[in-house]
């Protein structure tokens, strides 16, 4: 009853996405949770054996999924991103990769006990630090732009190169040791690699031309790109095995640097597909391992090999390849430490283990446990240490959350100043030069530009900001900005001021479908806030104590007080909104509000009264 392919597919999907959620909820590396889940249903409890259950479809499914993931990652490789980093990135993906190959191969031969043939094949494969593990780690650690860009480019570009280098090593070894392999076969490999790059470039240019000239309707753009990726990968891979990964990488990079607007609209769809595929195939791969392979992982030679790869081979290859570049010691140390291996290493290693065994290399049986040991060790070690080490080296933006306020005006400028005074990272984004001067005089950071512009992605570092609020007087623009940033920041972290509506046109239904959460409550528009400021309303920062609780504050506050934000003692904060007016406040928290100037007026009256009494006393004496 529960042994059908349909059940296994459902189980893989549930465990994959469930692992992603658990990793997000408890701030763990997702690939670690997925590995554990795969091992539980595979070799430990024997619920499924994907290689047997899916039969001949197993390897094509894995290969196609890896190709799509690699294409999605290469769509992020815009050359504008590495301005100023071109030299170290080029060094790392060329000289660094070559050194890692040589050092890794010697380590595999002398320490792990592999033959020269298997050692050079596995050494080439282990230069990869794929996007399947690097990109989630970068999101988790919130690195500064420079080290993040280096690690991302290395991970995506070197991923197909690692597979190709393994093929190259195998072809060379076959040529040197097998008389039946001729120089023509070796040249064919190089020609096939160039063909793969050309195919990827042509597919990318073709899709770009069709999209730019309106030959494809919007509803077909994502399916066409998806089908083109599959076709590009298959065509190149049929010519020469493993060159398909190079083809889809070339296709993705070509599209990324054509700057096609509609590709940005599809980015979130492609990311969702990538996450789904990544989760599923990692469960499948780990579930396919057997108990004998798992026991071999604890072989002392394999353990020592992994230690040397972690602490010697990777750091040494990075330090040597980045000599005489402008990378700081801290950046070299971080990049030299972070090198988690991922799905490409596991899938391609399995392929070469079979190929080498068929070619008569008995020690090829060690390749699979060796690969899994390195993948699991690097993912665990680097996944749990990237955050603390990057913070220790001063390369992390991890800290208190920040907020971007879209829209410059009197209210946003003064509100931003209050938040800044409470040590909250705040930035106003608006193209107006008038409000830029106001913000500058107040000491509030200001981005003079259009937040929705494509250029903003390259001129504004969004990493420090976890929340976004829109405070312009245009309802549709506020909703558009919020809707644009919902996939990136999450629905609970984007806010907009209340819509301008009458009683007959209530916005509740629209707000649920588009835009962000309604700031400060229904009906509190920018005009109303500006009007209150003109009337003399003031921003108050009220700190709660054990004696002065939130409930007491709510009873004693002045009428017509607008609750704006709740800043926790830890530095976290949230905004009062139509959906969240009942925020939980505790002693030590600070409430930011816009309140009538009752206290100020009382002080003014008291001062005037004192002056009158003082003047009256002086006149009586005279």
pLDDT tens-digit profile of 46-57?
888 888 888 888
Give the pair of three-digit tokens for residue 540.
């108050």
Integer Cα distance of 246 and 159 in angstroms: 9
pLDDT exceeds cutoff 90 at 304: yes
pLDDT for res 111:
92
Please give the pLDDT value at position 281. Answer: 81
Residue 232 has pLDDT above 90, yes or no: yes
Point out the least confidently predicted range of 218-227, 497-506, 540-549: 497-506
Residue 81 — very low, low, confident or very high, per pLDDT cuts 50/70/90? low
Nearest to 405 by CA among 377, 374, 426: 426
Which of 311, 329, 394 shows the shortest CA–CA distance to 141? Answer: 394
Residue 604 scores a pLDDT above 80: no
The residue whose two tokens read 């504008």 is: 80
| pLDDT exceeds cutoff 60 at 553 | yes
What's the rounded Cα separation, in Å, for the pair 366 and 2? Answer: 34
- C-alpha to C-alpha distance for 498 and 467, rounded to whole angstroms: 17
Least confident piece of the model among 58-62, 359-363, 433-437, 534-538: 433-437
Q: How confident is the model at residue 25 (pLDDT cuts 50, 70, 90)?
A: confident
Alpha carbon distance 226, 254 (integer Å): 15
Do 515 and 483 form a contact (C-beta atoms < 8 A)?
yes
Name which residue leads in pLDDT, 30 or 525. 525
pLDDT, mean of residues 5-29: 84
CA distance 273 to 276: 5
State the pLDDT at residue 311: 93
Q: Which segments of 145-299 does DSSP mark as H helices, in order? A: 145-177, 183-212, 218-239, 243-256, 261-287, 291-296
Per-residue confidence band for 39, with pLDDT thresholds at 50, 70 and 90:
confident
Question: Distance between CA 102 and CA 182 in Å, rounded?
Answer: 24
Pick the range with the lowest mean pLDDT from 157-161, 165-169, 186-190, 234-238: 157-161
Name the band, by pLDDT with cuts 50, 70 and 90, for residue 619: low
459 pLDDT tier (thresholds 50, 70, 90): low
Q: Where are the beta strands (DSSP E) in 399-520?
A: 402-406, 425-429, 446-447, 465-470, 494-496, 517-518
Segment of 276-290, 414-428, 582-596 carrying the highest mean pLDDT? 414-428
Kindly report the average pLDDT of the chain as a whole number.
Answer: 80
Give pLDDT, residue 160.
65
Q: Cα separation of 99 and 313, whole Å?
A: 8
Q: Which residues contact 576 (CB under 8 A, 6 or more apart)?
A: 519, 520, 521, 563, 564, 565, 566, 583
In the structure, what pLDDT confidence band is assigned to residue 458 with cuts at 50, 70 and 90? low
pLDDT digits (tens, 9 = 90+) for 317-329: 999 998 888 888 9
State the average pLDDT over residues 363-376: 85
pLDDT score of 201 more than 90? yes
Least confident segment among 77-81, 208-212, 528-532: 77-81
274-302 average pLDDT score: 83
Q: Which domains does the chain have, with CATH numbers?
A: 5-48+63-392 (1.20.1530.20), 402-597 (3.40.50.720)
CA 182 from centroid of its chain's CA atoms: 45
- Find the mean pLDDT for residues 442-471: 76
State the number of CA atoms in the 13 A half-sphere of 217 facing the CB.
2
Quick: pLDDT tens for 244-255: 878 888 898 888
> In this predicted model, what pLDDT tens digit does every residue of 86-97 receive, in sequence order?
778 888 888 888
Task: Tell me what the mean pLDDT of segment 189-205 comes to.
Answer: 90
pLDDT at 223: 86
Q: Residue 213, exposed/middle/buried by CB under 10 A (0-12, 13-18, 19+)?
A: exposed
User: Is the predicted pLDDT of residue 509 greater than 50, yes or no?
Assistant: no
Residue 503 reports pLDDT greater than 60 = no
Residue with more model confidence, 440 or 374: 374
Rounded CA-CA distance 400/145 in Å is 18
């Amino acid at each position: 009853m529960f042994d059908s392919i349909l059940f296994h597919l459902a189980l893989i999907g549930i465990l994959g996405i469930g692992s992603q959620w658990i990793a997000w909820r408890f701030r763990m590396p997702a690939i670690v949770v997925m590995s554990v889940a795969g091992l539980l249903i595979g070799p430990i409890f024997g619920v499924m054996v994907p290689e047997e259950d899916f039969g001949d479809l197993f390897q094509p499914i894995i290969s196609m999924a890896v190709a799509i993931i690699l294409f999605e990652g290469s769509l992020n490789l815009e050359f504008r991103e590495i301005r100023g980093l071109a030299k170290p990135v080029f060094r790392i993906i060329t000289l660094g990769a070559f050194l890692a190959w040589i050092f890794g191969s010697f380590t595999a031969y002398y320490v792990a006990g592999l033959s020269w043939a298997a050692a050079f094949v596995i050494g080439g494969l282990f230069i990869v630090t794929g996007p399947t593990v690097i990109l989630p780690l970068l999101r988790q650690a919130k690195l500064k732009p420079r080290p993040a860009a280096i690690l991302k480019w290395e991970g995506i570009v070197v991923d197909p190169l690692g597979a190709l280098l393994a093929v190259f090593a195998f072809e060379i070894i076959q040529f040197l040791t097998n008389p039946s392999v001729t120089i023509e076969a070796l040249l064919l490999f190089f020609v096939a690699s160039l063909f793969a790059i050309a195919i990827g470039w042509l597919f990318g240019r073709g899709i770009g031309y069709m999209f730019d000239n309106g030959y494809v309707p919007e509803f077909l753009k994502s399916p066409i790109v998806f089908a083109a990726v599959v076709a590009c990968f298959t065509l190149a891979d049929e010519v020469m095995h493993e060159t398909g990964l190079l083809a889809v990488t070339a296709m993705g990079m070509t599209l990324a640097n054509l700057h096609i607007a509609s590709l940005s609209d599809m980015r979130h769809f492609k990311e969702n597909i990538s996450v789904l595929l990544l989760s599923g195939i990692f469960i499948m791969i780990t579930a396919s391992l057997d108990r004998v392979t798992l026991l071999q992982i604890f072989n002392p030679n394999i353990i020592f090999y992994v230690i040397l790869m972690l602490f010697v081979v990777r750091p040494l290859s990075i330090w040597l390849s980045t000599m005489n570049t402008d990378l700081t010691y801290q950046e070299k140390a971080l990049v030299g430490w972070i090198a988690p291996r991922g799905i490409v290493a596991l899938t391609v290693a399995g392929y070469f283990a079979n190929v080498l065994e068929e070619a008569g290399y008995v020690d090829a049986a060690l390749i699979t446990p060796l690969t899994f040991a390195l993948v699991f060790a690097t993912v665990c070690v680097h996944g749990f240490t990237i955050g603390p080490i990057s913070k220790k080296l001063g390369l992390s933006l991890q800290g208190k959350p920040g907020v971007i306020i879209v829209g410059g005006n009197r209210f946003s400028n003064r509100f931003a100043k209050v938040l800044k005074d409470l040590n909250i990272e705040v930035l106003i984004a608006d193209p107006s030069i008038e409000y830029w001067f106001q913000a500058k005089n107040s000491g509030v950071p200001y981005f003079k530009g259009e937040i929705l512009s494509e250029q903003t992605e390259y001129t504004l570092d969004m990493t420090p900001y976890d929340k976004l609020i829109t405070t312009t007087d245009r309802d549709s623009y506020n909703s558009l900005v919020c809707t644009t940033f919902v996939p990136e920041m999450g629905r609970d972290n984007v806010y907009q001021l209340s819509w301008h509506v009458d009683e007959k046109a209530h916005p509740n239904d629209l707000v649920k479908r588009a835009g962000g959460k309604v700031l400060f409550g229904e009906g509190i528009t920018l005009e109303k806030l500006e009007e209150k400021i003109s009337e003399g309303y003031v921003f108050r920062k009220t700190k709660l104590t054990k004696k002065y609780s939130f409930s007491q504050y709510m009873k004693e506050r002045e009428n017509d007080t607008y609750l704006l934000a709740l800043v926790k003692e830890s530095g976290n904060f949230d905004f009062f909104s139509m959906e969240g007016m009942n925020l939980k406040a505790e002693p030590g928290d600070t409430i930011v509000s816009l309140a009538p100037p009752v206290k100020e007026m009382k002080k003014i009256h008291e001062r005037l009264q004192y002056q009158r009494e003082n003047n009256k006393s002086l006149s009586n004496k005279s």
